[in-house]
Amino acid sequence: MSIPIHCCSKLSAENAALRKKVRQLKHAKQDLEEKLSVLVQKNKVDALLRAYCTTRDSSVQTEVRPWGARGAYGTILAPTKPEPRSSEADLDKSNKMINMHAQLLRRYEKEVKQNVNHAETISELTVKLSTIEKQLNEEREKRVELERQLWALKGSKQSGKQKASAWTSGEDPVLREVVEERNTLNKENKRLRTELKGLDKGFFDEVEDLKYALQQSAKLNKEYEKTLRKLCQQFGLPYPNPEKILEAT
């Protein structure tokens, strides 16, 4: 089983796109964290102002006038309405949802990083396998060429006993050199075949497992994007939208 070279190029391109997507998500995360900090500070200031106003009103107002109480000139005074208190529960709920948004963004970024690592691993394994196959083909071609040269030398030498004597005794230096090179190539060919058989045992299973993990991570990323989009719409936060940024660039 061999993986085409164009698949390696495709994975490299996807790897670069995922890296760019991670950078865009980091910038969006920083913007959201800054906005969250501003919102928290604003909520604290509003709470302090409300607490100050409530304390001031309670200190100025010395008595509560019931309905129908008369003023200095006999006018009927309406009861004062208490100021609405801020709902701490709503504030806590908003903070929790914003924290959930930040956690979801971090998990999405983690999945993208895992996808990048899987793509890099698949790309490296594909390149390694292609290199071994290329070396094996080159060694096979060299062996065929040397065998052809060997037979040509054997045919051009003296016939009969002189040719047999030269072959057995190894007196011909050219022939001896060709034979030695052929033996070296045979050993290299056997080594490459052994290495390729070693890869066949678990190499392709590992590649398939990485591909499956990459597909599962992509599905999880889609679910994270849906949830992230809902949270952004619910709380009025800007959606990072890295796909449009990548298309624009």
Q: What's 29's domain CATH number?
A: 1.10.287
Distance between CA atoms of 214 and 201, rounded to whole angstroms?
A: 22
Residue 110: inside a domain, yes or no? yes
Is residue 199 one of the residues assigned to a domain? yes
156-168 mean pLDDT: 52
pLDDT at 64: 46
Does some domain include residue 120?
Answer: yes
Determine the Cα–Cα distance for residues 25 and 247; give it in Å rounded to an integer.
Answer: 15
Range of the domain at 127: 5-41+86-155+171-242
195-242 per-position pLDDT tens digit: 776 665 566 677 777 778 788 877 877 887 788 777 777 777 776 665
State the Cα–Cα distance between residues 237 and 105, nearest whole angstrom. 13
In a domain, 50, yes or no: no
163 domain residue, yes or no: no
Number of domains in the chain: 1
pTM for the model: 0.33
The residues facing 76 across adjacent strands are 70
Determine the straight-line distance between the first and last CA of the chain, rounded to whole angstroms.
37
Residue 75 maps to a domain: no
State the Cα–Cα distance between residues 209 and 121, nearest whole angstrom.
11
- Domain-embedded: residue 70: no
DSSP string, 70-123: B-TTSPBPPPPPPPPPP-HHHHHHHHHHHHHHHHHHHHHHHHHHHHHHHHHHHH
247 found inside a domain: no
